[in-house]
Amino acid sequence: MEKALPPIPAKRYFTIGEVGDLCGVKPHVLRYWEQEFTQLRPMKRRGNRRYYQHHEVLMIRRIRDLLYDQGFTISGARNKMQEILQTERDKKRNGELLLEGVEVIEISDSELDDVEDSQPDTSSDSVSDRLLLVRRELFEIRDLLSLAH
């Protein structure tokens, strides 16, 4: 039975050791994958220390899945990653959302403005409070995605 990977904490940078723990691979494997997958480029600081961003942790998990779970070779996984990233770029260019399995709640701009202007009601779990939280999360996601490019 496969062990589930831990959730990725909400922080900007991760050390190679943290990424190894989050993705279930050893640091030397991550360094090797950097050579094999050109899309994987962690920031290097003093002493050549690697710092990975959230999108890179997700990419490593995807690479791990291709290699370990789906049985791809390094070459096959490299090609599949290029294909996946091109598909995502095309979807982004066409304005498509990449939200598989997410329920879409439609709300007008005026309703959203009303939600922003209102103070969250801490005594109840109202729809407007949840929408405000979702909106904040979406802005955080947008910021993370903009860092990726």
pLDDT tens across 53-87, in order? 999 999 999 999 999 999 999 999 999 999 988 88
Does residue 131 carry a pLDDT above 60? Answer: yes
CATH entry, 1-98, from 3.20.20.70, 1.10.150.170, 3.40.50.300, 1.10.1660.10 = 1.10.1660.10
> What is the residue type of 56?
E
CB 72 within 8 A of CB 66: yes
* Mean pLDDT calculated for residue range 34-45: 93
CB 129 within 8 A of CB 138: no
pTM for this one?
Answer: 0.61
* Mean pLDDT calculated for residue range 115-141: 68
Alpha helices in the chain (DSSP H): 16-23, 27-36, 54-64, 74-93, 109-117, 127-148
CB 82 within 8 A of CB 36: no
> Judging by DSSP bridges, how do beta strands 49-53 and 13-15 pair with one another?
antiparallel
CA 44 and chain centroid, separation:
20
Neighbouring residues of 46: CB distance < 8 A, sequence distance ≥ 6: none
Share of the chain above pLDDT 70, in %: 75
Domain with CATH 1.10.1660.10 in the chain: 1-98
